[in-house]
Chain A
């Protein structure tokens, strides 16, 4: 019996977590296991850490279950350069999140949203994609931008909303966007990016472009309907979908149509267990998200989202499959939102602190990957502390610089509403400038004109 989350006792929370674990173990039983994975063994939570990668494709064809990869096959593909690159980006993301979060707490920025616990999903999926793949993010995927080359200074400019912000100071913090890096500007609306990605894929298909789109969403967003019409494109449209978006109608139409149109789209669901304060048990009672893909005829895969190599491998293979077989693919990455939903949230109010701590410790994707690259001899404690202090220094410089830069000028308030500014807005701007000049003492001196 579901009780209101407000009155949820710790007992209840543990119950639902246990039931999730039970759910997980049931799932495990039905999937093929990667038994000889060398990087799975050290972890004591067997049922979760051994989450296998199994691909099931129905839709009139033979139900097949095959191992997508084993640890050995994955690690053969990962070069030292790629692994170190991935790891350093994961660390950068982690440090960036911590420092910007602190900056919000100090009142220097108004809002921030961390990706703590989901670094592997961010970086590893980005690493498996091509720069020409169009990304339709939800909001917990700045790592993809980071991987593609967005600088720390550019991130800082956006969260401070200064004149160098590519959004001209119009959006809340973390609403990054970059046309150059093929990353659609983050919108606050949940799951609307899912049908957008399908439409963009359709456009790519019409242009016969060799690319795809990718959209990310979470557990809550999977209720939305999203149409991705990506055909004939080597570029896969990649959707990052939060679990919470899954209850939105957009998700359903999107998956359905993508399957019908045989569009090469990757729907990437970050099942992190929480939609703000709604636990997964209150969100859905199906076997996660992966069965929904199957219901729509979309080949679906479930992967351990805290295992960077698994995510890399899954996205890599999904992309190849999507392009070569002209099919959408749904990836459900199981993970945990180790941070609060955002700076406006205190998750200790609805979940036990030791649960959070457990996930931040052994299950931490950054720690897990670090262990792997250290066994390979590609990383050490010295390089770790050097990199971390380097990033911290860069970040504090970026923040100080961004803070000092002036805010966007008044002209940026009235342009871009339409392609060509209409007469009434030009008149309003002129009137505003006249008013400011007349009552200059009533306006802040730092308002640039």
Chain B
């Protein structure tokens, strides 16, 4: 049933992200509705985040937002649009340019029982506040033996945008993923954005919420359940975006979209790929990953960040530890190039994984010869 719909969509020439975004996620009923009526709502990731913040602030008066440009400017990326007018300057706090300062303040507020949502203009700037995130937030519950808990959320765009060069393009998933005491979430679609942000705000532990600037403007279909104000996704559960049986491709954030497109291309070559959207780097959903690898016997991990000590390295290790006998081929790791991100458009393209890289890796894992054509 899904394949019929997919063919119909392809024949209509709908844009790739839309196809990749929803075809494999929605239930057949929903996709049918997409065709025969306009009942399905589309939502931008930006709006998803905004609505999640709005609803959580309305539900709990101890939630407040703090960051640069979040108030009067309506948010550097307009994620907090309209919230200052609605909730006032006490709950949407514009700060001076001092990440260390306002992160420390946020942590202190969380010590005393508020639920701050700290926005970093990009997670590259979170390095200025790293001591507060790690030493003052992540470790506090443990060091105080449960006397101090820190229900704080650190959110903002992570990873590469377009043409912002090395100091604005690093992915911090692996950095934060190593720290016990933190939870690290990486949404992809609008559903992920809404559900995971709500879960993060409600969670009593410190959560690092890594968004992606380029995803803000992408729209995804959302069901009525997702739009409900009590909607929440569980932290630590990955999502199988596309079911398959030949190879497992794990990805997070923007790379999920790339992996889905790669899966389309692989389908033409008869390779049926299963795409897992990690949704959560810490805790990592090892159970889902391992179950998938035990089914398909092959694995390709995809990430935007630097290769050494990356998320893919951890996934590879966990699969080797738990499902070694099930692997039919070595694990393929696709990651960003091991260089600070260059600016020039052509160089930047070389520095990050592209769909062709994923396709070629999958084919290598399936022991198919690599196509010599320029595009896969």
Contacts and interface: CB of A to CB of B under 8 A. Distances in A.
A254 B101 contact: yes
Contacts of A250: 100-101, 104
B144 interface: yes
Contacts of A412: 145
A204 B143 contact: no
B110 interface: yes
Contacts of A54: none
B17 interface: no
Contact of A253 (B98, B181, B203): B98
Contacts of B107: 195-196, 199
B109 interface: yes
Nearest to A136: B108
Contact of B204 (A175, A202, A419): A419
Given A170-B143, A206-B62, A192 B105 contact: no
Nearest to A237: B108
Interface string A247-264: 001101110110000000
A195 B100 contact: yes
A165 B145 CA distance: 9
Given A192-B104, A254-B101, A422-B236, A203 B114 contact: yes
B177 interface: no
A196 B145 contact: no
Given A194-B104, A419-B149, A422-B283, A199 B183 contact: no
Nearest to B203: A419
A93 interface: no
B28 interface: no
Interface in B100-137: 100-114, 116, 131-132, 135-136
Contact of B101 (A178, A249, A424): A249
Contacts of B146: 168, 415-416
A207 B112 CA distance: 10
Nearest to B116: A199
Contacts of B104: 192, 194-196, 198-199, 225-227, 250, 253-254
A134 interface: yes
B227 interface: no
Contact of B112 (A192, A200, A417, A418): A200
Interface residues of A, number: 52
B147 interface: yes
A170 B145 contact: yes
A5 interface: no
A199 B112 contact: yes
A167 B109 contact: no
A185 interface: yes
B105 to A, nearest CB: 4
B105 A256 contact: no
A416 B113 CA distance: 17
B101 A187 contact: no
A166 interface: yes
Contacts of B148: 177, 179, 184-185
Contacts of A227: 101-102, 104-105, 108
Interface in B154-187: 180-181, 183
B102 A416 contact: no
A156 interface: no
Contact of B141 (A179, A254, A257, A416): A416
Contact of A249 (B100, B110, B111): B100
A225 B100 contact: yes
Interface in A365-386: none
Interface string A181-216: 000110101001011111111111111000000000
A415 B143 CA distance: 11
Contacts of A229: 105, 109
Interface string A129-168: 0000010100000000000000000000000000001111
A412 B286 CA distance: 25
B73 interface: no
Contacts of A225: 98, 100-101, 104
A168 B145 contact: yes
Contact of B183 (A196, A226, A252, A418): A418
A396 interface: no
A167 B139 CA distance: 12
B64 interface: yes
Given A199-B105, A226-B104, A179 B147 contact: yes
Contacts of B135: 187, 189, 192
Contact of A416 (B61, B90, B145): B145
Contact of A192 (B113, B114, B136): B136
Contact of A198 (B105, B132, B143): B105
A171 interface: yes
A185 B100 contact: no
Interface string A215-259: 000000000011111000000000000000000011011101100
A202 B105 contact: yes
B110 A199 contact: yes
Top-9 shortest CB links A-B: A195-B104, A199-B108, A253-B101, A196-B108, A199-B109, A199-B105, A203-B112, A200-B112, A168-B145
13 contacts: A136-B108, A185-B143, A185-B147, A200-B112, A202-B108, A202-B114, A206-B64, A228-B105, A253-B96, A253-B101, A257-B105, A419-B205, A422-B283
Interface of A: 134, 136, 165-168, 170-171, 175, 177-179, 184-185, 187, 189, 192, 194-207, 225-229, 249-250, 252-254, 256-257, 412, 415-419, 422-424
Given A200-B112, A249-B100, 8 more contacts: A177-B147, A201-B108, A206-B90, A227-B102, A249-B101, A418-B181, A418-B183, A419-B141
